[in-house]
Amino acid sequence: MAETIYVRGEGGAVIAMDLPLPEGIQERLDRGAIQRVNADGSPHYAAPARAPAPAAAVPQGSALTQGIVPRPGARANKDDWVLWAMAVHAVPEADAEAMTKTQLQELPEHPAPAARPGDGRPDESADKSAWIDYTVKAGRMSREDAEAYTKDDLIALFA
């Protein structure tokens, strides 16, 4: 028999849900968009969990994907595309959620390779303005954002 928990949804209603939760609901619970509560709507306080034994290092990804996050299918929901854009293209969550599903689908399957010396990257002795120009040209961030960083931070972005 499945365990039943109660969650307060985005609209404030308390809803009974059987475990395991559907993937989309579990993600919203993990993000804090919905909260687990008692049946009467009062806050739920779980018993302190025992610290799990340290696990052996698990290789990232599977043999099928070779550690690469697979591109969602055309019929996948927008949340899947947002997660993919965040994982593959390092798009900040707020920016990815602001994009339409079509814009997310138009992102290339693999991100452009990181710039390497000889690809127009300024020398480390170049002044900050050269690094700002390079950062903007590489599409890493806007000029205003790049100007907020130090020269050393901009260099570290391309290390």
Task: Label the pairing between strands 14-18 and 4-8.
Answer: antiparallel
The H or E element that residue 5 is part of is strand 4-8
Q: Which amino acid is at 30?
A: D
pLDDT at 59: 52
pTM recorded for the entire structure:
0.35
Comparing 156 with 63, the larger pLDDT belongs to 156
Rounded-to-integer distance, Cα 57 and Cα 41, Å:
39
Predicted confidence (pLDDT) at residue 20 exceeds the cutoff of 50? yes
Which residue has 């395991």 as its token pair? 20
Is pLDDT at 89 greater than 50 in this prediction? yes
Q: Report how far apart the first and last C-alpha atoms of the chain are (Å, whole number).
A: 53
Distance, in Å, from the CA atom of 19 to the CA atom of 29, rounded to the nearest integer, reads: 13
pLDDT for 137 equals: 82
Q: What does each C-alpha distance from 5 to 8, 17, 31 come to in angstroms?
A: 10, 5, 17
The pLDDT tens digits for 143-154 are 888 888 888 888
Six token digits for residue 58: 């698990």
